[in-house]
Amino acid sequence: MKIQFSQVSKKILSDIALDQVSFEFPEMGLSAILGDFGSGKSTILSLILGNIKPDSGEIFLNNKINSFGKFSDAYLAGIGYISSETKILNELTLQENLNLSRKTKNLHSKEKIIHHFLSLTESEEFLFNLSQSGASLSIEQRILFEVIRLAAAGCKLILMDEPLDQVPPENRKLLLEKLKKVADLGYHIVFTTYQPENVPDFCDYCVVLKRGKISKEFKDGFDFDVLSLAMSTDIKFVNSPSLDPGKNRVCEFINLQIDPNNEEESINYTLYRGQIAAVTGDDEVEMIKLLFCSVGLQRPTYGKILINGFDITNRPLDEFINDGVAFIPEDRLSEGLVPGLTIFEHFGLVGDLAGTSYKPLSLLKDVDLILKNSDIKHSGTDLIQNLSMRDLTKVLFALLPTAMAMLVIVHPTKKLDKYHKDWVWQQIQNRAAAGVGVIVMTQNQEEIKKYAHSVWQYKNGNWLTSVPTAAWMPNQETNVQENTEDFINGDYHVG
């Protein structure tokens, strides 16, 4: 089945998921959609299936405008869909699972579906024992069974959303080789992935997405290095705009004393709009106290805290929130979220979707779109504690309000793989580029040197003077006073 996108744009809530995208899949074969989180991969699948409509542009299937109003219409027309969680029932045999296959316009009887399935699995590498239970299949066997079952039911186009996520890395290429052989029998299999290494060189086509736009298209061969380069994340290091220093300050600590037993303690730091300040040091207990004071979770013994020029010292927590202060704690679940509540209930309580008019069905629909666009493989009705650390972090970023003055985050990339570490820093950079001041507590010196503008360090019982990252020496006992005008005038060197 031939697919063509012509100048297609789609906005999900306030975010542009696709921006005037044009490309054309081949009629058959194995195709990949490669892109990072939020690049528009899942949006493309949803548009093909008819789950959502484009805001502008046109989608053609076999040279006809896509008129599907819902997924059932797409399925009847011969388009199958496999999510990251397969639909095989563990308690049933494969024969019983096969009997549950839905008919398409191409095949009307279950007898024909079963006959077609058996003809497709004559090859030994596709052989299934239909008397075995669904629970006995490995994850790659489950995916292969689902694909062949859809093909047997008459689906000429099979869409797969992140199918390789749960497959062990050493088994992925073999699975893709088998899918390629199925596709070569006259089918078109399209899968999404965020990892270049998941796209084999025998793919017939690959489109690379970056922030809703096409970065590159590949046909007739490509290699890993070329794919990686096309997908590489553009982290843009930002400097604060040249503004009046008095209006450019987000947060000020003035002669702050946190430790009641240390009368000599006097913390003086200033955070500017667009600045990322890294908090690091040899005592995380003392470091977290400073962060707690900055967000209203702890009161200092002495001194002042100014937010946007207003003295907010010892004021209630809600006043910090109302003044645009947001906080992402280290314990994403128990401190940042509420175990026992669903994902969509969290969006109903905080963030841009929260409001006085609470419409559960409408909210759930909006949340599910956010989850899909963020590549979070959950429904809004799932309990928040069922999410991985990666997905909890993404939900917390999605919950942040658009209008923010300061973001404070503890260990932003802890327990994340390299790709998702880059994703988190991209989110932080995006906030800074919008004028948000960011305080990040981390012990990762490589990330500090790469992403932060300045460093606030606690060492040997003292807070050292703030320094630009380029001048920071972790083992130095004292720091020279930084020239804050360097940041205001955009002269900081980062990375």
Q: Residues with Cβ < 8 Å from 114, sequence gap 6 or more?
A: 98, 99, 152
Q: What is the pLDDT of residue 272?
A: 93
Q: What is the pLDDT of residue 15?
A: 65
Q: What is the pLDDT of residue 238?
A: 42
Q: Do domains 3-231 and 245-488 have the same CATH topology?
A: yes
The number of beta carbons lying within 10 Å of the beta carbon of residue 309 is: 12
Judge residue 266's burial from the number of C-beta atoms within 10 Å of its C-beta, 0-12 exposed, 13-18 middle, 19 or more buried.
middle
Domains of the chain by residue range:
3-231, 245-488
Q: Provide the CATH number for the domain formed by 3-231 in this structure.
A: 3.40.50.300
Q: What is the pLDDT of residue 232?
A: 61
Q: What is the pLDDT of residue 236?
A: 44
Say which amino acid occupies 374. Answer: S
Q: What is the pLDDT of residue 7?
A: 94
Q: Would you tell me which CATH number, out of the four given (3.40.50.150, 3.40.50.300, 1.10.3720.10, 3.10.180.10), belongs to the domain 245-488?
A: 3.40.50.300
Counting as low any pLDDT under 50, the low residues of the chain are 234-246, 356, 480-495
Q: What is the pLDDT of residue 353?
A: 66
Q: What is the pLDDT of residue 494?
A: 41
Q: What is the pLDDT of residue 374?
A: 79
Six-digit token pair at 63?
A: 């040279």
